[in-house]
Structure 1
Amino acid sequence: MIAVNGKKVEFTEFPNGELNLNHKSIDVLANSDSATNVGFKFENNTDLIKLMFVKRYLDQLKIKTTSLSISYMPYSRMDRSENGSPFTLKYVAQFINELGFSEIEVYEPHSDVTTALLNRVQPNFINFNLINLVKRIVRFDENKDYLMFPDAGASKRYSRMKAKNVLVGHKHRDFETGEIKGLELVGDISGASGRQVIIVDDLSSRGGTFVHSSKKLREHGFSNVFLLVAHAENTIFKGELFNHIDTVFTTDSILTEQNNWENKKYESKLKVYNI
């Protein structure tokens, strides 16, 4: 989905599948000196073509300053080349750079590679704001309750997210299949019984890591397990996540299917904030 100055840009399709940009849905003045913002929510690969059409049309109108806000950087998982595999994130970043935005904002980048690859980029780590909101909602006791980072990567990313009680997960994977076989908790859990814990990470797909984390946390006596992830894919509804997490707090940076009738049963266990 593409928006210009907060208004969704409309597209139709020709019979052969080619996109037709409805330029009347873009409310800007030609030759304008006013700053124009393009919002980019990646829902499928077609959105990259839509982004190109919108930016080139704004160039045609001679809009001088055009910024880009990316709710979730697509292909963030492919942030390296291993054994000759395609460096897909690099290719997508190059594509965006070539569009020539005056500045780029990326919400909760998956790794430092994203910000290294994009030109004139400013990361927006929204979890540092959301955690305060979540703490208020669950009535988090700073002296007794816990934060948990499910792996070393999350622990490093959110090292500035201070808390008196912090746990870090250490996952055991089957290297051939990638399946999580177990998880250990690193940290002082002597006072865990009957306490609350908020798991914090940037991204959830089916939520397997968080299911394993919750199981281990409850084994140690935690009464309530919450999850904060900046980005949640629609696949969170396909796994066992909601059977193990009391409430999932996330944003609509990727999520689109939370209001589908078959997913409404999770409404009481899901809180979605507008990006």
Structure 2
Amino acid sequence: MILLNGISVHFTTFPNGETKVDGNQILGLLQSVGNHRVELTLKFEDDGDLIKLLFVKEFMDEHDLSASLLITYMPYSRMDRQEGNSVFTLKSVARFINQMNFDSVTIVEPHSDVTPALIDRCRVLYPTLTLLKKVLKQINFDPNKDYIYFPDAGAAKRYGKGKELKGYRQLVGHKSRDFETGRLEKLEIVGDVDRKDYKVLIIDDLCSYGGTFSWGSEKLREKGASVVYLLVTHCEESIYQKGLLDSGLVQKVFTTNTMLNESKHKNLEIIHHY
């Protein structure tokens, strides 16, 4: 999905599958903006959104109009390195975006530091920490006895050092994963636990099927947790497919609307932020 100052740009399709772009529609949206700053938003749903973004940006270039870009979820951000014969697709997508020469690019919660390093004129937003206070209050989290759990060292680095979590009890997962298949092979939870029957809030950037969080919740319950919640910025449609929401392992999942707009399950709460 492509938005211009928050308004969706509509596209149609030719019989052969090619995208048809309505220039008059774009000009009309630009006229409604007036002299205000123009921001395009890439709300990634599939690869076709990248070519649509290119079409809109080049149309604006032809009319001597500049724009900034907001990316609610950076496509291919998980493919942030090359191992064996895997393709470093994030680097290719970053180069594609850089060639459009936006005034600035804002990325919501990238998967790693590699993304902002590859994108020109980039800044990063971390809504998870912004929403943390709201979620902690909603689940009646007690910092004197309950725990924050980071599924891996990357999440601990991204969130654990922030002022929002200073003084909170923290646990970290140490996991090994097959890079080619994505399959989780080993998980160990590191951190001192001195009690039973406590709550845990898992914090991370992205949920797909939720296997990492299911296994982590099982391990946390073995260590004495009575209830586990999950807060993630990005949540894919695939969360409905593998039973995480019905498993009883995670009481409730909190996420933003960077990927999903509406919840289809009582245990998934979408906080509209973008």
TM-score, normalised via structure 1 length: 0.90
Specify the code of the residue in structure 1 equivalent to 2:175.
Answer: K
- The alpha carbon displacement at 1:220 in A equals 2.2
Q: 1:92 to 1:225 in 2, by over 3 A?
A: same
Maintained 8 Å contact 1:147/1:163: no
Residue equivalent to 1:123? 124
Residue equivalent to 1:245? 250
Maintained 8 Å contact 1:97/1:118: yes
Residue equivalent to 1:36? 38
Maintained 8 Å contact 1:37/1:68: yes
Maintained 8 Å contact 2:86/2:180: no
Residue equivalent to 1:150? 151
Q: 1:129 to 1:52 in 2, by over 3 A?
A: same
Maintained 8 Å contact 1:169/1:185: yes
Gaps of 5+ in 2: none
- The alpha carbon displacement at 1:235 in A equals 0.9
Cα deviations by residue, 1:188-238 (Å, 9 ceiling, x for unpaired)? 1112x1211100011111111100111111122212100011111111111
Specify the code of the residue in structure 1 equivalent to 2:260.
Answer: L
Gaps of 5+ in 1: none
Cα distance between partner residues in 1 of 2:5 and 2:181: 44
Maintained 8 Å contact 1:42/1:74: yes
Cα distance between partner residues in 2 of 1:81 and 1:195: 40
Residue equivalent to 2:56? 54
- For 1:73-222, list aligned pairs within 5 A: 73-159=74-160, 160=162, 161-173=165-177, 178-191=182-195, 193-222=196-225
TM-score, normalised via structure 2 length: 0.91
- The alpha carbon displacement at 1:178 in A equals 5.0
- The alpha carbon displacement at 1:4 in A equals 0.2
Cα distance between partner residues in 1 of 2:24 and 2:146: 52
- Aligned residue for 2:205, secondary structure, equals strand
- The alpha carbon displacement at 1:255 in A equals 2.5
- Report the identity percentage: 47
Residue equivalent to 1:223? 226
- Aligned residue for 1:230, secondary structure, equals strand
Maintained 8 Å contact 1:31/1:61: no
Cα distance between partner residues in 2 of 1:108 and 1:175: 21
Q: 1:200 to 1:31 in 2, by over 3 A?
A: closer
- The alpha carbon displacement at 1:163 in A equals 3.9
Are 1:254 and 2:259 counterparts?
Answer: yes
Residue equivalent to 1:15? 15
Specify the code of the residue in structure 1 equivalent to 2:45.
Answer: E
Matched positions, count: 266
- The alpha carbon displacement at 1:133 in A equals 1.4
CA-based RMSD of the aligned residues comes to 2.0
- Aligned residue for 1:28, secondary structure, equals helix
Q: 1:180 to 1:67 in 2, by over 3 A?
A: same
Cα distance between partner residues in 2 of 1:252 and 1:30: 25
Cα distance between partner residues in 1 of 2:56 and 2:70: 14
